Amino acid sequence: MLVLSALPRVSGSVSAARFSVSGVGSSPALSSRSCTPLDSSVRSSLRRCPCGIYTSRTKAVVEAVESKAAEWRSAMKRAVLASDTGAEEEVGHARPILRARSEEELLSYIRKEVETGRLSSDIANGLEELYYNYRNAVLQSGDPRANKIILSNMAVAFDRILLDVEDPFTFSPYHQAIREPFDYYMFGQNYIRPLIDFRRSYIGNISIFSDMERKLQQGHNIVLMSNHQTEADPAVIALLLERTNSHIAETMIFVAGDRVVTDPLCKPFSMGRNLLCVYSKKHMDDAPELIEMKRKANTRSLKEMALLLRGGSQTIWIAPSGGRDRPDPNTGEWHPAPFDVSSVDNMRRLVEHSSVPGHIYPLSLLCYEVMPPPPQVEKQIGERRTISFHGVGLSVAPELNFNEVTAGRETPEEAKEAFSQALYNSVGEQYNVLKSAIYEHQGLNASNSIISLSQPCQ
């Protein structure tokens, strides 16, 4: 993810612009442990007031609930596991891989692609390894439909990856999620969904997300300064918020490093997200002959970000650490990676100079078990994917105001450091609460006076 200090400053005026993303609302559940609408017993209990009279106010509540349930049922009909809806329309015919009826048939298709020379052995080996890791993780869930989910989801994933190998997609500096004719957003949602144990997943301070949505409706910008744990972070965030805050879940813009838009196994999932594409400072010097090209690309992305912020009503997620968290090599303990001070300050200045009210929140993620990164940062594209079924956590704390946090600091540098540290400390505090809830089995009892945990997907 982005280290903003790698981007140059942009001076001058940039015209305002608004961008919108089309698509459906909250996505359907594939598991009984996923988010579901209110059931019939709840609706029935709302139909009458205590004295048995069907009041107009109660009627309004019932109608609202039933309308939401109808939307949910409609969405259920639209989704096909990992969402192959639109695939046939897009390519003009049903590709054989989508008709695979067994594991053997699916994997044999990949091997035949290698034999014909249409697929490299390296990518094929990565796909086969991905299949087995995904299969083992979904089986851990105990879902009685696991085998059906595995085959369907992996067939669609393989189809999307092979399509991109044949005709590589190029990401623009600002990429908007592709929702039709193939819905890449739903594809990513439903692929990651079976990997999350919703019984052991928690959200901290869900009410703050609702407050964010009110600010977005008023035209304000929201920036989430977050730690970063896995390639699946965007899907994890959206899955936890899809029932309560679907607007944020679907329209959030992720500042993304070049790895997720160049790795063949990752690209189809990235195509379903709103991305500001950049070259991370960690990989800026990997190929000296490409440094100038990367800098120019980052300048274009910075201009796109300025345009978005000037238009207002944007939610931007950024990891100021510049990459994914990794375990301590000595203890094996996971914790949020330190924030880069210049990244935080550059983002803050962009928000302040947009002429639109902006709010910066510290966000914490705990989901490394689902798809942990390699132990060390790798230069080469094509990392191994380890996958597990596990509980995850997401938490947000009240926004931090730069002037309030830095009052009394003597120099600008001290102020920048203090603000970055305050954000990082909050992320760490929230992370520890999520860790207690999930790994120390404290559940909702891990809540404290600052972080209130809930399970809206239960």
Cβ atoms 165, 264 nearer than 8 A: yes
Q: What is the largest CA-CA distance in the chain?
A: 78
Residue 202 backbone dihedrals phi, psi, to 5 degrees: -140, 150
Q: For tokens 């595995």, what's the residue? A: 150
Cβ atoms 1, 322 nearer than 8 A: yes
Helix (H, G, I), strand (E, B) or coil at 202: strand
Measured between alpha carbons, how far is 291 from 279 in angstroms, rounded to an integer? 10
Residue 317 backbone dihedrals phi, psi, to 5 degrees: -105, 135
Measured between alpha carbons, how far is 231 from 250 in angstroms, rounded to an integer? 17
List 84, 122, 167, 258, catalytic entry: 167
Per-residue HEC secondary structure of 352-414 comes to HCCCCCEEEEEEEEECCCCCCCCCCCCCCCCCCCCCCCECCEEEECCCCCHHHHCCCCCCHHH
The runs of H, that is alpha helices, within 79-145 are 87-91, 103-115, 121-140
Closest among 271, 402, 383, 240 to 324, alpha carbons compared: 383
Cβ atoms 283, 259 nearer than 8 A: yes
Closest among 200, 228, 174 to 390, alpha carbons compared: 200
Measured between alpha carbons, how far is 5 from 8 in angstroms, rounded to an integer? 7
Q: Is the peptide bond before 320 cis (omega within 30 degrees of 0)?
A: no
Q: Which residues contact 270 (CB under 8 A, 6 or more apart)?
A: 171, 175, 256, 260, 261
In sequence order, what DSSP letters do the residues of 249-300 get, joined into one string?
HHH-EEEE-GGGGT-TTTHHHHTTSEEEE---GGGTTSSGGGHHHHHHHHHH
167 among known catalytic residues: yes
| Residue 316 β-bridge partners | 223, 253
Secondary structure element (H or E) that encloses residue 101, with its range: none
Active site residues: 167
